[in-house]
Structure 1
């Protein structure tokens, strides 16, 4: 009688242990699958931000000037930070700069004047200007200091308004340094319009003010 009870108890214990292990494995599999899916969403923005920063560095090396070394050093710090975030998110795409064939052209005259009616979302308190660089994405230049912009399209001193359509935040900044993009925001400016955890503004309206 005692032996039978012992065997019965050990059989129950064995079933409980096996059941617990199965639940732990299932729970672990669920955690892993959800982690991978969210990392996949983050990787798209991180990879694009990395590509733009690498392209900027390549453009500076192809057409250097007196400030290129400082700009490259600042942008490399941004690249290192993005790579750290990519590693944490599990991003493994091979990201490289696109060929900077037409890097940083001389600043052209103001673009042909489109109707300045705006696009309904831009401009508050009479601060709307003509929409330029349609379809451009905006990322950060990695430069410190008070809010300002860098541009390869507009000369230094141009005032631009950047609106993030994903959160309707805007900032008006002056172009202070050249770059290989329509507009890049330095760290302080980017912080005012970014979405948390994102290094790229995909849906942006860029306006030339004044």
Structure 2
């Protein structure tokens, strides 16, 4: 009579059972990148210093890997302060991923690769100077007289950056739909502009070149103390 030996194998939660003997086996799960802020654009702050980023989504100390999907270049930076974007790169960091002549990355992948939790970076705190909307005479910048808001103040604490895009004055936004009218005031010089949202971005209000010229301070690509109003 022929005897056949039957071998029964089963795998349950990473354990191999063979002939009644249990052995642990590796499941082979690899670390999955923590992709954050899907759909966000990445812009240039115009600030100097070694490669770094500011963020309104992650606290100081968070490490973010930013990849420009249009040229496959990437850089890993540490958040060192607040802004109104998921990831706002300073000059040195942006140079590592930019396409020539562009101050905006529309197809970006942002990954959290270390440090920090998802707690907001609290724009307008110690790193951002006086609270956004502070009255004239606040300790940041030259005291100016800023007229009171006439519309609904939105996105409190947001910074406003330059997209580097051409065309008549306009803005893009990740908060408001196309056609929304926003009034952006630079509280450090009292200058304001009203623009219409004409597309998406990763910021509450991202101004193109023509709009930013109306409110900028010389040499700065970032407005840290901004008031954004929805006026239509």
TM-score tier after normalising by the smaller chain length: 0.3 to 0.5
TM (norm. structure 1) is 0.46
Higher strand share: 2
TM (norm. structure 2) is 0.42
